[in-house]
């Protein structure tokens, strides 16, 4: 057993942003191995606080799930977005170097803002990013900051959904569609953005495995396959037996302040090769999440 694996199995793993979707699943999957951090206990934009708190905790690894994720608002407050998504990652990389432990930085498909030609292949880890918009640029800057840590792993993912505690109140695409549909509202969803929406539990489980086997570098971890948001919304409605009007619209019609990638499907071949199995497919993962969600809501509603 290597020294790193031995440390990971015996020392705590720092989960930054543990109150979020991915952080919550990591906390649950890691159990007693997790040492969780979130506001107000730790503000990762505070350099001195990051070093003081993490050096005292002495984790075997740092997993950064914290991020500024309001893509449209970022256009109006770039300083705040970059402080969280880039500068703070540099603080964590410095702490990881001091501790001689791995830093896992969670990144995004948005770093590929290029507009490819017809029938493009999925983006590979070796492809050159071309982020568009403040959010995407800040996440790419965060990747570069993480890569400066001596031991690093950048995990790019896409369209996360599934919260361990908030369940139906979480802010993600699946819950937004369900909230509107359950109120009987009609839906307008873009059909010209192709990606791989991913169940946060699946991504968290993959990160746990990647840590245990000491994978480094950049790796793409999403549910397998590709879809567009309109088709994904139709699948959500079908699986829940909801019938409301749904209209396909273009990104131009949606007219959001920030640009979105037209095609951001990530190639999962490296992960599949390392693990010997691909990630669960998009629609299987969605079915698994909706089944878990129904049970979680039933349990919550019947608890005294």
Domain ranges across the chain: 3-302
213's CB contacts (< 8 A; 6+ apart) are 5, 274
The pLDDT of residue 3 is: 52
DSSP H or E stretch at residue 212: helix 200-212
- Measure the N-to-C terminal CA separation of the chain; round to a whole number of Å: 46
pLDDT < 50: residue spans in the chain = 1
| pLDDT score recorded for residue 9 | 55
Q: Would you state the pLDDT for residue 279?
A: 98
Alpha-carbon radius of gyration of the chain? 19
Residues annotated as catalytic are 135
Q: What is the pTM of this model?
A: 0.95
Contact present, 26 and 66 (Cβ < 8 Å):
no
Query: Are 265 and 195 contacting, i.e. CB atoms less than 8 angstroms apart?
Result: yes
pLDDT for the residue numbered 1: 46
pLDDT in tens, 193-248: 999 999 999 999 999 999 999 999 999 999 999 999 999 999 999 999 999 999 99
- CATH number for the region 3-302 comes to 3.40.50.720
């Amino acid at each position: 057993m290597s020294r790193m694996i031995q440390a990971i199995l015996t020392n705590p793993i720092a989960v930054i942003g543990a109150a979020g979707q991915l952080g919550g699943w990591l906390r649950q999957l890691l159990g007693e191995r997790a040492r969780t951090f979130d506001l107000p206990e730790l503000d990762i934009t505070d350099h001195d606080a990051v070093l003081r708190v993490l050096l005292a905790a002495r984790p075997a690894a740092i997993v950064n799930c914290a991020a500024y994720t309001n893509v449209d608002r970022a256009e109006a407050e770039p300083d705040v977005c970059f402080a969280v998504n880039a500068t703070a990652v540099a603080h964590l990389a410095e702490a990881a170097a001091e501790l001689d432990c791995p830093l896992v930085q969670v990144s995004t498909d948005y770093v590929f803002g290029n507009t490819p030609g017809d029938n493009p292949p999925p983006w590979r880890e070796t492809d050159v990013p071309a982020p568009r918009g403040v959010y995407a640029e800040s996440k790419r800057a965060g990747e570069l900051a993480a890569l400066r840590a001596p031991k690093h792993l950048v995990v790019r993912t896409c369209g996360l959904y599934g919260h361990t505690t908030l369940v139906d109140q979480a802010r993600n695409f699946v819950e937004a569609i369900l909230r509107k549909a359950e109120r009987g509202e009609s839906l307008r969803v873009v059909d010209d953005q192709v990606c791989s929406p991913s169940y946060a539990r699946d991504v968290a489980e993959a990160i746990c495995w990647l840590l245990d086997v000491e994978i480094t570098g950049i790796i793409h971890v999403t549910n397998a396959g590709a879809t567009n948001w309109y088709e994904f919304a139709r699948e959500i409605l079908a699986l829940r037996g909801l019938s409301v009007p749904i209209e396909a619209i273009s990104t131009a019609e949606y007219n959001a302040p920030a640009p979105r990638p037209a095609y951001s499907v990530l190639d999962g071949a490296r992960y599949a090769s390392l693990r010997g199995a691909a990630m669960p497919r998009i629609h299987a993962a969605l079915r698994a999440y909706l089944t878990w969600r129904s049970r979680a809501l039933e349990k919550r509603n019947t608890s005294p």
